[in-house]
Structure 1
C-alpha cells in the first residue's frame, strides 16, 4: 500500500513538472516572439548550441539573420532573449538597470563559492563595486605602470627577428606575469619558465570548455539544482586530495585547477594580512586599503574571489586582444606605419582608434554580455520580460551592423569610424552600463604599453594567416596561433 502511494506521488510530481515545462516552452509563442526550430523538450535549444561547429556567438548571429533583432531560445526551460536592437539593450543595461542588475549564473558560482563582482548582484554587488572602483582610477593605475613595464622588458628579450614565431604564446606568458605581479604581488618569472605552475593551472582553467562537461550541461538544463552538481565537483576534488595524502607516493590525483588557484590566493592573502612587510603596490593591496578606508568593507571571501576574478579576466582576454592587434598590424602595413609615426611623436590618438576597431571586429568575452530579469515582470520596448529570463546581447550582429557603423563597410578595418559619435550600445567590447568591465582601464593601459614598445622597436613584416584559424570559443573567442616575423627598426 505504501509503495503504491509513493508511486502515485512520484507520478503526480512528474505530471506537474511535465505540465509546467510544456507551459514554459510556450513562453515566446505567447508573446509572438520567433524562436529557432528544432527545440527539444527538456533541453530546449541547448543541444543545437552544444553541437554547432561555428561556436555559440556565431550561432546567435546566424539566428539573428534568420529571425531578426529580437528573438528567443530556451536554455533548458530558461527563456533567453537574443537582442541586437540597441534601443532595447539600452533600456536593459542602462535605463532599467535596477530591474536587470544580475548576470546569468553558472556552476562556477557554487564551485568556488564565488562572491566576486561578476557573480554578485543587488546591494552586495553595489557595495563591492563602490569599494573596488577607486582601485582602477587613472592615478592608481599609474602606480602599477612600472610593474607592467618590467614585464614588457622581459617580453622584448624573447622576441625573435630570425624567423616566424608564435607571439600569442609570448603574450599569454606576459599577461600572466603582469596580472600575477599587479593583482597580488607574486614575481613568478614565468616568461623564462614555460612550465610555471601558475601558467599551467590557469591555462587548464581557460582551455577547459565547461559547456562540454556533463555536470555543467546539467546546470544549464536544470539551473535550480546547480548547487547539487557543484557539490559533486567538490566531492571529487576533496576525494583526490585525500588520495594524494594517503597514497601520494604511489600515484598522483590532480586537484581541480580553479580550486588549486583559489587556495594559492588564500595563502597570499593570509601572508599579507599577518606580515605588514609584505605590503606591495598591487590590486590586492589597493582593494584592502579601499576597504579599510570606507565604512563598507570587503569580506575576506570577497577579496579572495575578486583577486581570483582579476587573475582569470586579466590573463587570456588581454593576451587575445594583443594577438588580434598584432594580426591586424601585420595584415595592414599602412596602418602599422601610421601608428609607428604617431608613437614616435608621442601621440596616442590613432592608437586609441586602432584598439577600438580591433575590438569591434574581434570582440572577445561575448557570452558574459547578458542580464537577468530580477523582478516579476518588466516592460521593455513593448515586450514583457519575466523574472529569471535572460537578455543576451548578440555582439557580432551589433558590431557589424552597417546602420550603426557605416557608411564605411563594416567588414573592413577602418579605425577612423570611431571618430564619429555612435549609439551608446553600438560598441560592447567591455559591456555597457553600471556593470561594464571594471578592469577596462587596466586592460587598455597594458595593451597600449605593449604596442607602444613593440612598434617603437620593431616592424611586423610577415604573418602566417593560415595559422590564425580556426577561431576557438570557450570563455573567450581566440585564434589558434599568431605566427609572425619581426624586423628591427
Structure 2
C-alpha cells in the first residue's frame, strides 16, 4: 500500500524517489522539487511551484483547468468563487465593471472618509506610548470600507466598540465549520456574506503585515514619506461632510506612487493573500511537460515556494524585504498573490488602491 502512490505517478511519467520511512520524501522535496504529487484517497493531487508548469495550467490550458476543486460549499454558494463554465463567465462579466478605474475613482471619497476615521485612533496610543493591536483597528476600518462602498451604509463601526455589525461578522469568521453556520441557510444573505469574505480578512491582514515591515524598516518608511511629500495632494470633501476636509491623494495621483506600489507588491510577495495555494480541477485528460494529467486531477500552486524562489526573485535574498526588487521584470508567474489568469481575483485594483491609501495614511501619521 505504501508504494501505491509511487506506482501511480511512475505510470504517468512522473519520477518519484524511493519510499523512506517516517520522513518520506521531505528532504528531497525541500531541496530540489518544483512539484510533488500525492494521492488523496484515489484523487491525484499535484502541488506545483514550477512557473512554466503553472503557466500552462492557469493561462495556456485554461479551457481544461477552468474550474476549482469541487467542495461541499458548491451546493451552498453559486457565486463567482465556486461556479464554473458559463455561470462563472456570466458572473465575471457582471462583477468586473464594478471595479473599473472610473468606479474606483467614485469610491475615493468614501475610502478617504474611512481612512480619516482610522487615523484619528492612532495619536491617542502614540501620546500614551502604550502597546496596542493595530490589526483590530484594520479589521474595523476594512469593514467600514466594505459597508460604505459595497452596501452604501455608514455603520460607525470604527467608533462604536459594541457595533453589532462588527460583532456578528467577527463571530462568523471565528466559527469553525463554516459550511454549517446558520447564516448560509438564508439565501437572501449570501451576496452580503460573499462580499465580506472577499475583502474583510484579506485586506486587513495585508495592512497588518505592511505595518509590521514599516516598523522593521524605518529607512523604507522614510522613502515612502519622501515620495508622499513630493506629490500634489488634492483637497476634497472626504465623505460629503463639510465638518472636516482633509487632503488625500486622489486615484490618479495614487497611480503615480511608484515606490509605494513596489512596497505594497513586496508585502504581497512575502505575505500573499492566497497563501494556501490556488487550485484547479482538470476537466479532461491533458499533458503538461510530458506529464499525463488525468481528468479529475487537482493542481495546487505552491505560492510560498514561487514567491521565495531564488531563481525567480534573486539576486537579492528572497527572504529579505526589498521593495526595489520589483523594478526588475520577472517571469509572468513569479508574482501571484491574487491568483493568475482569467479567474484571478476580480478585486485586485480595489485591494491595491485601499492598501496604498492606508499605507500612505500610516506614513503621514
Q: TM-score range by the shorter chain?
A: 0.7 to 0.9
Distance 1:104 1:198, change over 3 A: farther
Distance 1:156 1:82, change over 3 A: same
Does residue 104 in structure 1 map to residue 69 in structure 2?
A: yes
Tell me the equivalent position of 1:186. Answer: 153
1:366 counterpart SS class: coil
Tell me the equivalent position of 2:53. Answer: 88
Tell me the equivalent position of 2:297. Answer: 389
Shift of 1:440: 0.7
Structure 2 counterparts to residues 343-422 of structure 1, below 5 A: 343-346=228-231, 348-367=257-276, 369-375=278-284, 377-422=285-330
Tell me the equivalent position of 1:79. Answer: 44
**TM-score scaled to structure 1, two decimals?**
0.63
Does residue 338 in structure 1 map to residue 223 in structure 2?
A: yes
Q: 1:443 aligns with which of 344, 351, 354?
A: 351
Deviations 1:120-169 (A, max 9, x none): 11111111111211111111111111111111111112112122211111
Matched-pair contact (CA < 8 Å) for 1:61–1:397: no
Shift of 1:308: 2.8
More helix by share: 1
2:39 counterpart SS class: strand
Structure 2 counterparts to residues 79-158 of structure 1, below 5 A: 79-110=44-75, 113-158=76-121
Matched-pair contact (CA < 8 Å) for 1:151–1:174: yes
**If you compute each CA radius of gyration, which structure gives the higher value, 1 or 2?**
1
Tell me the equivalent position of 2:250. Answer: none
1:71 counterpart SS class: strand
Tell me the equivalent position of 1:171. Answer: 138
RMSD: 2.8
1:97 counterpart SS class: coil
Structure 1's unaligned 5+ residue stretches are 1-17, 40-47, 49-59, 214-229, 234-255, 268-303, 459-489
Structure 2's unaligned 5+ residue stretches are 232-255
Matched-pair contact (CA < 8 Å) for 2:277–2:301: no
Distance 1:33 1:187, change over 3 A: farther
In the alignment, the residues of structure 2 paired with residue 396 and residue 62 of structure 1 have an alpha-carbon distance, to the nearest angstrom, of 17
Q: 2:16 aligns with which of 34, 38, 42?
A: 34
Matched-pair contact (CA < 8 Å) for 2:274–2:339: no
Tell me the equivalent position of 1:272. Answer: none
Structure 2 counterparts to residues 210-249 of structure 1, below 5 A: 210=177, 233=180
2:321 counterpart SS class: coil
Q: 1:320 aligns with which of 205, 211, 234?
A: 205
2:316 counterpart SS class: coil
